[in-house]
Amino acid sequence: MPQYDQQSQQALQTCHHDLQLIFNAVGREIACDIQCGYRNEAQQEQAFAEGQSSHHWPDSEHNEKPSMALDILPQGYSLDDPLRWCWFGGYVKGLADRMYAEGVVTHRVRWDGDQLLDGADSANLPHFEIYLPEKR
């Protein structure tokens, strides 16, 4: 049974409680590494400079405390394999929707990879966030 390493656990602990519940469930089934949850100003600007974020500080969901977003990388996945990512994104969203319907979590999850399904050329495939319709 997969579990997160210490770095991933620490990153997950910076996230909203619903993300913790959802991604703890994911991590029990799929070997993954959580790349980041909360980002401070320097980390956010570095992520922007490296093309890992399209937002400057403090406009990313990663910049809230607790973080409303996380970036996760299933072990063995490549960013060059969007079909495999679609399976993973669908798995996470399906699990999150079930947990929402059962009242385990109070928010739905949005996956940045959905942009590919909507015809976009690229997306930040590791990025998942709490879905807040009023912010869209």
pLDDT tens for each residue of 19-67: 999 999 999 999 999 999 999 999 999 999 998 899 999 999 999 999 9
Task: pLDDT band for 117, please (50, 70, 90 cuts).
Answer: confident
Model pTM? 0.93
CA 36 to centroid of chain Cα atoms: 9
Tell the CATH topology of 6-135: Muramoyl-pentapeptide Carboxypeptidase; domain 2 (3.30.1380)
Tell me the sheet residues that pair with 129: 69, 110
Share of the chain above pLDDT 90, in %: 79
- Percent of the chain at pLDDT > 70 equals 98
**pLDDT confidence bin for 135, thresholds 50/70/90:** low
Q: Is the pLDDT of residue 121 over 90?
A: no
Q: Quote the pLDDT of residue 123.
A: 77
Nearest to 65 by CA among 27, 13, 22: 13
The pLDDT, as a whole number, for residue 118 is 78
Mean pLDDT for 63-87 is 94
Angle at 50 between CA 13 and CA 69, to 5 degrees: 25
Query: What are the residue boundaries of the structural domains of the chain, listed by start?
Result: 6-135
Task: Check residue 2 and give its pLDDT.
Answer: 79
* pLDDT classification of 136: cutoffs 50, 70, 90: low
